Structure 1
Amino acid sequence: MAELSDPNRSRAVLVGAGAYTQLQPLPTVADNLSGLGDVLTDARLWGLPAANCHLVGDPATPQEVVRTLRTAARTTGVGGLLLVYFAGHGVVDERTGELHLAVGQTDREAAYATAVPYEWIRRAVLESPASRRLVILDCCYAGRAISGMGDDDLSAVADEVEIDRTCVLVATSPNRTALAPPDEKYTAFTGALVNVLRQGVPDGPDPLNVATVYDEVLRDLRRLARPLPELRARNRGETLPLVRNAAHPARPAAPVPATVPAPFSHAGMVLVAGPGVSDPELRGASLAILAHSPTTGALGVQLNRGTSRSARDVFDEPTPEVLTSAPVFDGGPVRDVVILLAAPRTGAAEPAGFRPLRGRGLGTVPVPLTPAAAAGLSAACLFVGYLGWRPGQLEAELAAGELVVTNRSLETWFWQQHDRH
């Protein structure tokens, strides 16, 4: 079962534009930000640290939005989720047809100069090292007259905002009333979204993934005869786990055995499944632990599940030369993440985002790989998917003998794969 994204490596940027100088005000947008922010930072649901949840309320200029977004996107780490949310007016440039997100000083006749081009959002998201990406748009259209917008037009807007390797959830309303019903605390879409995340889905998975949340929100809005959202996702992005399912009874966290010192890190170690392993995903597995912390849990990949795939099969774009000979492995059951384990090139500058495994001459590098980062690498292995452990869970499985630490060297294994490939 997919694990939640590491909240300490995740970032959320929640933008709400409700006060305008030239467009109709949207007073409920402020409550949207606080309501969604409360859900994301609730330890019972996800536990995103408050410092990682950036609220941008009533921005006056596009630069206020972009500065916050770029910083958050750059600092989201491997194993983390970058979530970008916008509520407010959307403006379509009549000359180019491109979507812009309106801010306080947006001039509807000059959207290209006074609103946030959606392309800026797309670029920041694509350049982030985040393993998972989710964009949510709750827009009321204020530019060209689209009061007669039909389902085909709404789908076209959703197609336009699609981003590669990113899950995009877009709610488009042709008028203010549809977006923000009178006497309600939230906009129609965000109200349904917050309610589903807060209440959970009794027959849904735990944690709740985007597809389940979308289906439930769709059902609620259809029942109320309100505008329906669209979901766009590639590479099974709709399976992205979002929050714990509040409709399920809470599960006790696995205890940390007293015999394992809390500060000790297993990152970089090679483990094998013990004879009494209970998790079917771990039976017969040989694993490398790539990240481990007593407070956030652990992340690892399977070393003995090679595939016949190449980097070109994994990515939808040209691959740097260092990846053309990179072996590809089935890393684990969380399928929406690609992890790059690499060896830095001797004498080259350390690639941006490189996270070294202490004392092992290897580290992880964010994907997609930039040309500058590729130049700093001598070899790489790709893992499609990974395994995750809650805080204390890995320690408990080691203490119970379900997993066993070996004396194998991850670095030796790494170079053996390249000799064979």
Structure 2
Amino acid sequence: MGGPVDKGLGMVDMFTRGHALVIGVGGSNFSVTIDDATIISSILRDRDRCAFPGDQVHLLLAEQATRANITGALQDLADTTRNDDSVVIYFSGHGMSVGHGSEDLHYLIPHDFSPDDPVSTSIDDEFFTALIREIPARRRIILLDCCFAGGMFQIQFKQVPKHMNLLYRLT
């Protein structure tokens, strides 16, 4: 239900249950993140590939990829998606880790990050995880194209055996 339906001539209905937030932070010497996010957004909207409706793919590039806009867009996904939806979140930008060993804190760095106020201008792992948990969609794909991405999640996958848990295999 709601998935792409082949009509026999390469034409596909839209995947109406597909929602996405695609972020390319950009910045000086980091324009590749904008290119990557733009390509991902195009693939998701492409009727012959993913067929997500264009108005359900939210693209934040460069100056738009602020902490407030990113967290607001994640909250919008929590408010507008349902259990039977599929959600893709793609972040291309910087990530950082602060601390040592098992007590490290991990952060996504939005476009408006300030080294003078790193706590309130970044997105920490616990806050990011809480925002993701609020999204009711059963099918969620989170792609973090940044340094220290493996430390961003504080989610336990109790229902999935360790040998099938992607985060377990990657870390």
Q: Highest Rg: 1 or 2?
A: 1
2:66 paired with 1:47: no
Normalising by structure 2, report the TM-score: 0.74
> Relative to 1, partners in 2 of residues 1:54 and 1:41: Cα closer, same or farther, differing over 3 Å?
same
Q: What is the CA deviation profile of residues 279-325 of structure 1, one whole-angstrom value per residue up to 9, with x for unaligned ones?
A: xxxxxxxxxxxxxxxxxxxxxxxxxxxxxxxxxxxxxxxxxxxxxxx
SS of 2:16's equivalent in the other structure is helix
Residue in structure 1 matching 2:70, options 41, 65, 68 = 65
Residue in structure 2 matching 1:158, options 138, 143, 150 = 150
Q: What is the CA deviation profile of residues 173-195 of structure 1, one whole-angstrom value per residue up to 9, with x for unaligned ones?
A: xxxxxxxxxxxxxxxxxxxxxxx
CA-CA distance at 1:60 after TM superposition: 5.7
CA-CA distance at 1:4 after TM superposition: 5.3
> Relative to 1, partners in 2 of residues 1:91 and 1:107: Cα closer, same or farther, differing over 3 Å?
farther
> Relative to 1, partners in 2 of residues 1:60 and 1:232: Cα closer, same or farther, differing over 3 Å?
closer
Q: What residue is the counterpart of 1:232 in the other structure? A: 167
| Structure 2 CA distance for aligned equivalents of residues 11 and 39 of structure 1 | 13
CA-CA distance at 1:140 after TM superposition: 3.7
Q: What residue is the counterpart of 1:238 in the other structure? A: none
Structure 2 letter corresponding to 1:42: D
CA-CA distance at 1:160 after TM superposition: 4.8
SS of 1:7's equivalent in the other structure is coil
Where is the helix percentage greater, Structure 1 or Structure 2? 2
Structure 1 letter corresponding to 2:130: R
| Structure 2 CA distance for aligned equivalents of residues 65 and 104 of structure 1 | 10
> Relative to 1, partners in 2 of residues 1:138 and 1:233: Cα closer, same or farther, differing over 3 Å?
same
| Structure 1 CA distance for aligned equivalents of residues 42 and 111 of structure 2 | 24
| Structure 2 CA distance for aligned equivalents of residues 40 and 74 of structure 1 | 21
Structure 2 letter corresponding to 1:32: D
Q: Report if aligned partners of 1:93, 1:112 keep a CA contact under 8 Å in 2.
A: no
1:120-135 equivalence runs, <5 A: 120-135=127-142
Q: Report if aligned partners of 1:10, 1:77 keep a CA contact under 8 Å in 2.
A: no
Q: What residue is the counterpart of 2:19 in the other structure? A: 11
Instruction: Identify which range, 41-50 or 70-79, moves more after superposition.
Output: 70-79
| Structure 2 CA distance for aligned equivalents of residues 101 and 48 of structure 1 | 26
| Structure 1 CA distance for aligned equivalents of residues 106 and 3 of structure 2 | 31
| Structure 1 CA distance for aligned equivalents of residues 145 and 79 of structure 2 | 24
CA-CA distance at 1:109 after TM superposition: 5.5
In the alignment, structure 2 segments of 5+ residues that lack a partner are 5-13, 158-163
| Structure 2 CA distance for aligned equivalents of residues 138 and 51 of structure 1 | 23
2:33 paired with 1:26: no
* Count of residues paired in the alignment: 150
CA-CA distance at 1:128 after TM superposition: 1.5
The alignment's C-alpha RMSD in Å is 3.0
Q: What residue is the counterpart of 1:114 in the other structure? A: 121
Counting aligned pairs with the same residue, the percent is 24
Normalising by structure 1, report the TM-score: 0.32
